[in-house]
Amino acid sequence: MSEAFFVILHNMKIHWFIIPMFSVLVACNTAISPVLNQERLESQSFAINTEKDTTVTTEEGIQVIIPAGSIKAATVAVTLEIKEALSIYDMINGGLTTQAGKEILSSNGMFYINTKEPSTIIKPLEIKIPALYADTAMQLYKGKKEKDKINWESPASLAVKGNEVIDRGKVLFEQNCAMCHRTDNQLTGPSLAYVEERWASADLLYHFINNSAEVLAHGNEYANCLYCEYNKTSMPAYPNLTGKDIEEILAFVNRETVRLKIPRTPKKMDSILYYKERYKYLTNRRNSLINENGDKVTVDIKSDDITYNTPDTAGLPEKVAVVTGQAEYYQIKVDAYGWYNIDLLLKDRSDVAKSRLVVKITGDYNNEINTYLVIPQLKVFTEGGLLTNGIEYGFYKQDGTIYLPSGQDAFIMAIGEEKGALFFGKQSFVTSADQIIDLPVNKISKANLDSLLKQLKLNNVNFSVTNSVNADSIRAIDEEMEKIKKIMPVCNCMGSDTSLSYPVPGQKIN
């Protein structure tokens, strides 16, 4: 067994020591960055009468079912406190890494439950955690506090409930949609992955499904672009599909989107409007980069995150409100307060392979720093540590080996503090078999860091911090804009906007 030098930064003093080199990486940082912590997560409070059957529902849809007599306290009335971290943003914001000891986890959501008054659970509470796709391979981990971190341990099996909606949606999809649509690819019509995100409102989408000709006749730009791109073929009308029917179809589509791990790639879905919005975005982004000063923070929104500016179609008949809700959920029984996490070991996923990932820190910060790997779609948020050479960082084994899926949007993030100043760096990339990531780290204000982290609420993994003149970025934007302008238009559905050219169906930008 070889030995390796490690350095620990403690109260701005550097300590060197020698330890045996284990096969699995042990992060050198003993605690998560103080910038990210559980106090940043919203605490939701519910007044409970312990002598009555009670069900509470959190803002993110977690249901807690409390049978009478389940909680023992000095008083009948207690205040239930719940924190939830179902999104990757909440996990990062709360400093809740997806790690079980030395192993990396892929999460499907975390939650914390307790009472503000002293109490104990004497009969299990039932908790339902909503999920677009409730993976039966997931397990329930309990959180154990270790210094300023939560480590996940004691995995147990989970029950998955609520497939009735999915089953009905699948039948309806096969009866009405499968001839022209798939979830994962174009057919006669566009792919339906993330279809709800591409319409201005659910009500407008439901109108289009019931009577596409009516929406087209009212001049909706997005609907007319689809009509042009797909050979001016109108989608058949489905007036007999109720709002509930459509909701169940979309629940099935959403579930399949998650199950198949389909990335957000709108240019493969409806490219005409995508390229129009992309060109406008690139124009604005180019101007922003040109005008940027030395240390200004910029937010680089990916093409995946473009919001189509498609107003509701005026004049259409008013419809009843759309019913919404999750189709599946995990069913859990808990007999103790604390943190819980629904997880699967990353290395046990069917889509991962042995890879190598190494991070080189550059820029103004030269001490050891907290580093994190984030894979948003898999909800992976894991802390790294120094590799054997004491210079580069990794996230699993000390030679940089790690089990990763290929082709996933991901980013490396670093946070450090020195002499009262906050330092931050982030680098986006797409996972592959062997990668070395250069990560510039520079000084940043806490307000700007908070602003950048909030971009994750929009599923944006490509925000960045820069202090250069962005010449390379501007050249790349110019090249992409020229490619878009050279693509021939499909039709004149863009009206008077003749400044751009639009793509032939199926034509891609390389």
Residues 230 and 249 reside in one and the same domain: yes
Query: Is 101 part of a structural domain of the chain?
Result: yes
Q: Both 364 and 343 in a single domain?
A: no
pLDDT given at position 469: 46
Kindly report the CATH number assigned to the domain that includes residue 272. Answer: 1.10.760.10
- What does each of the 510 residues of the chain score in pLDDT, given as a tens digit? 344 433 333 443 333 333 344 455 544 444 555 677 788 899 999 999 999 999 999 998 899 999 999 999 999 999 999 999 998 889 988 999 999 999 999 999 999 999 999 999 999 999 998 887 778 889 999 999 887 789 999 999 888 776 788 889 999 999 999 999 999 888 888 889 888 888 888 888 999 999 999 988 888 878 887 887 788 888 999 999 999 999 999 989 988 888 887 776 545 556 666 667 777 777 887 777 676 544 443 434 343 443 434 444 445 544 433 444 555 788 899 999 999 999 999 999 988 999 999 999 988 777 788 999 999 888 999 999 999 998 999 999 999 999 999 888 899 999 888 777 888 888 888 899 999 999 999 888 888 888 877 776 644 444 444 433 456 667 777 777 777 776 545 555 544 343 443 333 333 333
491 in a structural domain: no
Domain co-membership, 89 together with 186: no
Q: Are residues 141 and 173 in the same domain?
A: no
Q: Flag whether 109 is in a domain.
A: yes
Q: How far is residue 284's CA from residue 282's CA, in Å, rounded to a whole number?
A: 5
Q: Are residues 103 and 195 in the same domain?
A: no
- Structural domain includes residue 116: yes
pLDDT tens profile 43-70: 999 999 999 999 999 998 899 999 999 9
Do the beta carbons of residue 342 and residue 421 sit within 8 Å?
Answer: no
Q: What is the dihedral of CA 48, 49, 52, 58, to 10 degrees?
A: -10
Last residue of a domain, one of 225, 259, 281: 281
Q: What is the mean pLDDT of the chain?
A: 78
Number of domains in the chain: 3
**Is residue 507 in a domain?**
no
Kindly report the pTM of this predicted structure. Answer: 0.67
- 291 DSSP assignment: H
Of the candidates 215, 210, 204, 213, the residue with the CA atom closest to the CA atom of residue 240: 210
Which two tokens mark 294? 């030395």
- pLDDT recorded at residue 9: 38
Token couple for 129? 């955690």
User: Are 358 and 448 in a shared domain?
Assistant: yes
**Do both 139 and 51 map to the same domain?**
yes
- Please indicate, yes or no, whether residues 142 and 181 belong to a single structural domain of this protein: no
Residue 9: inside a domain: no
Question: Looking at residue 396, which CATH number applies to its domain?
Answer: 2.60.40
Q: Are residues 378 and 462 in the same domain?
A: yes
Q: Are residues 333 and 397 in the same domain?
A: no
Whether 253 and 197 have beta carbons less than 8 Å apart is answered as no
Q: Does a structural domain hold residue 477?
A: no
Residue 11 lies in a domain: no
Residues 103 and 198 in one domain: no
Domain ranges, residue 113:
42-161+327-348
Q: What is the pLDDT of residue 38?
A: 84
Together in a domain, 69 and 142: yes
CATH number for position 93: 2.60.220.30
**Which of 317, 348, 379 finishes a domain?**
348
